[in-house]
Homo-oligomer: A and B are copies of this chain.
Amino acid sequence: MEDPWTGDAFNPACPTRTVLDRVGDRWTVLIIEALAAGPLRFGQLRERVGAITPKVLTASLRSLQRDGLIDRTAYAEVPPRVEYALTDLGLSLRTPVAALRTWAEQNVAAIVAHRTRDLDEAQGIGHV
A-side interface residues toward B, CB under 8 Å? 4-12, 14-16, 18-26, 28-30, 33-34, 48-51, 66-69, 89, 92-93, 95-97, 99-115, 118
Q: How far is the CA of A24 from the CA of B21 in the complex (A)?
A: 7
CB-CB nearest in chain B for A119:
B66
Determine whether the beta carbon of B111 is less than 8 Å from that of A19.
Answer: yes
User: Is A108's CB under 8 angstroms from B7's CB?
Assistant: yes
Contacts of A114 in B (CB 8 A): 66-68, 89
Closest B residue to A118 by beta carbon equals B66
User: What chain B residues lie within 8 Å of A106 (beta carbons)?
Assistant: 4, 6-7
Chain B nearest CB: distance from A86 CB in Å?
Answer: 13
